[in-house]
Structure 1
Amino acid sequence: MKNSLISSLVVLALLSLSRVSFSLFCSNRNQDSATIVVDQSGHGQFTKVQQAIDFIPAMNSIWTHILVKPGIYKEKVIVPPNKPCIVLEGNSAHDTAIQWADSSEVVESATFTVNAENFKARNIKFQNTYNENTRRGDVSSIKPALAFETTADKVSFYQCAFTGVQDTLSDLQGRHYFESCYIEGAADFIWGGGQSFYQGCTINASAAILGGLAGFITAQGRKSETDTSGYVFNQCTVVGTGTVFLGRAYRQYSRVVFSKTYLSNVVVPKGWDPWKYIGREQTITYAENQCTGPGADMSKRVEWEKTLSRAELAWLTNVNTFVNQDGWLQKQPF
């Protein structure tokens, strides 16, 4: 306990330096960084993740590592806009999880919410278990229940897992990068207006819970021709149960691209759905590029699926041109 107290005081001293002057930029990678340990057994500074977030000073500009020891942390966590420069790290997504069960207002149901820029997570699972015990086919009882939500720019994830049933990952706004992550759900389980790149991720469509109805992987919400948002899935894997559409249009200019991705037979032959924009599909940008697997057969796809030019594909499927234009990924700690 004494050592934990001393460590807390050291961390507080480091973090207090960031109160003097705030910059939109975080300190260089691991230089001048601070570490906070969260451990349910009491061998860290805190036993709850939210306690660690609350401990970080407002307008923080020092990269702060929150190391979460193995366990299931049953709590709802919010990172407010004035607390940037955080790295959240678990032991692995198999043994370290933040879990809650809520289906209140859609954007308020999230187990974990990030509203601060320059946030990085790795080796941790985010779960919303609200719909966990839904009987197969009892669609009316399934509610929006978010595992994770972000409205911030420059947010990245490595070897993380996101599990839920409906609206699992609320990728709402800002530039985001996902690498080697696992994302599970049945209905619109990756949704919002984010500008995001999914690299080497596993997408598990657990649509069997819908009792014969097809689910939807994405519901992307691009609003206009000048809106730069969209979801790109590069070298990913789509598996699951039941059947699933690759996406449906959450907004008029919805944009989703699957590139060099393995599509299993869970993908419905039509591939895509215009939702409420029937007759206005010309503004929707849904495309596939060099995908493989039984679900990649495009012979029965919707007629309005886009064939992108080589230049368009080159821009969208390159992480550095689509989301990392200013090199923010390289500026985050390893």
Structure 2
Amino acid sequence: MEFVILVVLFFSFAKFDAVRYDLQDDVHVLRTITVNKNGRGDFRTVQQPIDAVPSNNALWIRIQINHGIYIEKVTIPQDKPYIILEGDRKHLTVIEFGDAGSVVNSPTFKSLADNFVAKNIVFKNTYNRLIKPDRNGRQTTWAPAAAIAGDKASFYHCSFISLQDTLTDAKGRHYFYDCNIQGAIDFIWGNGQSIYEKCQIKSLAHKLGQNGGYITAQGRERPEEPTGFVFKDCHVSGSGSIFLGRAYRTYARVLFSGTYMENIIAPEGWSEWEIKPVDSITFSEAKCRGPGADMSRRIPWEKNLSDDEIIYLTNIASFINQDRWLEKQPH
């Protein structure tokens, strides 16, 4: 048995070393590895090439995933930085699984390492396809599609689909561009320092059978923390009444700027949840459009940020990219 394991490991790493060197946009990509579930690549699953990446690697490694549905949990551990997961540009590349009940153990995808890039991938938790009440009558539970806890992570043209806690934006600086995020309860939550630019935010609150859901649950805990969620030039759509957010921690900070909102936003806009008093919460909107952006009935403690504050938060360079880490990633 030991001999068989050694042979398997040898050939796995042999495949890893044989793949080609690459260069993209003046950023060195050391290797490109292919994944094809039908066996026409270097590996059949997404987790296999991640496991083969050496610990504490210092150069970018691209994992090119052929289109199809990969039913598996995928984790990028903390000691595996500089990984790119890239799906097919023309056909869907889906990573999905159906686990629930834990924000730590249930995510379909977890990225714990610094310096990570994902492109053209659908991350999905399928647990909530059929909603069955538990013994307390609750219809949903934690079922994250993805959990991001490393610093300097970027996502381009990706989708995150679930019902509750869809995207755990836990900690670190993150950039989401042209991504699709769907859910009903706290479906973008955590204490990340993140900009969502030109993203599609879709409410599935009609599936709850209750009055309303929540897009965000931001968890900033102290006033000196630089964290917060910024939605820049996004589009909020879907069905069922939904709040823009509720305060997960005392100094929660969320800004919607230049965003089009369809007529699904609860008139109050925001909820303090269990935070009292509300003076420490920074929930704000700036130059948003659409029928859902009517602020005439918003909660009285919504912050009216100054122009300088809005410019600081919506500017990628000042809010998340002070050390120009985005320019150092392959695009």
TM-score (norm 2): 0.92
Secondary structure in 2 aligned to 1:312?
A: helix
Give the counterpart of 2:194 among 183, 196, 199.
196
- Distance in 2, Cα, partners of 1:29 & 1:49: 26
Which amino acid is 1:312 matched to? E
- Report 1:29-178 matches (<5 A): 30-31=27-28, 33-92=30-89, 95-134=92-131, 140-178=138-176
Tell me by how many angstroms 1:11 deviates.
3.9
Q: SS at the partner of 1:107?
A: coil
How far 1:28 moved relative to its partner? 9.1
Change (3 A) 1:312 1:139: farther
CA shift in 2, pair 1:104/1:7, >3 Å: closer
Residue 266 of structure 1 corresponds to 264
Amino acid at match of 2:258: K
Runs of 4+ in 1 over 6 A off after TM superposition: 5-8
Instruction: Indicate if the aligned counterparts of 1:94 and 1:125 stay in contact, CA closer than 8 A.
Output: no
Give distance in 2, aligned partners of 1:90 and 1:139: 39
Counterpart amino acid of residue 171 in structure 2? Q
Residue in 1 that maps onto 2:4 = none
Counterpart CA distance in 1 for 2:36 and 2:326 is 28
In structure 2, the residue matched to 1:21 is: none
Counterparts of 1:258 and 1:139 in 2: how far apart (Å)?
33
Structure 2: tracts of 5 or more residues without a match: 1-9
Tell me how far apart the structure 1 counterparts of residues 19 and 81 of structure 2 sit (CA, whole Å). Answer: 15
Letter in 2 for 1:276: E
Do residues 292 (structure 1) and 289 (structure 2) align? yes
Give the secondary-structure state (helix, strand or coil) at the position aligned to 2:32: strand
Question: In 2, Cα distance between the equivalents of 1:267 and 1:210?
Answer: 15
1:316 corresponds to 2:313: yes
CA shift for structure 1 position 301: 0.2
Change (3 A) 1:7 1:110: closer
Q: Give ranges in structure 1 of 5+ residues lacking alignment.
A: 16-26
Q: Could you list the per-position Cα deviations for residues 168-205 of structure 1 after superposition, in whole angstroms to 9, with x for gaps in the alignment? A: 00000000000000000000000000000000000001
Q: Residue in 2 aligned with 1:249?
A: 247
Using a 3 Å threshold, how does the CA distance of structure 1 residues 227 and 164 change in structure 2: closer, same or farther? same
Percent identical = 47
Counterparts of 2:301 and 2:204 in 1: how far apart (Å)? 27
- Structure 1 distance, partners of 2:53, 2:258, is 41
Structure 1 residues 7 and 169, CA, compared in 2 at 3 Å: closer, same or farther?
same
For 1:328 and 1:106, the matched residues in 2 are separated by 28
User: Cα deviation per residue 1:87-113 (whole Å; 9 max; x = unaligned)?
Assistant: 100014861100001113222110000
The residue number in structure 1 matching 2:279 is 282
Partner residue of 2:226 out of 196, 218, 228: 228
| RMSD of aligned residue pairs (Cα, Å) | 2.3
The alpha carbon displacement at 1:32 in A equals 5.1
Match of 1:208 in 2: 206
- Structure 1 residue 81 displacement after superposition: 0.6
SS at match of 1:12: helix
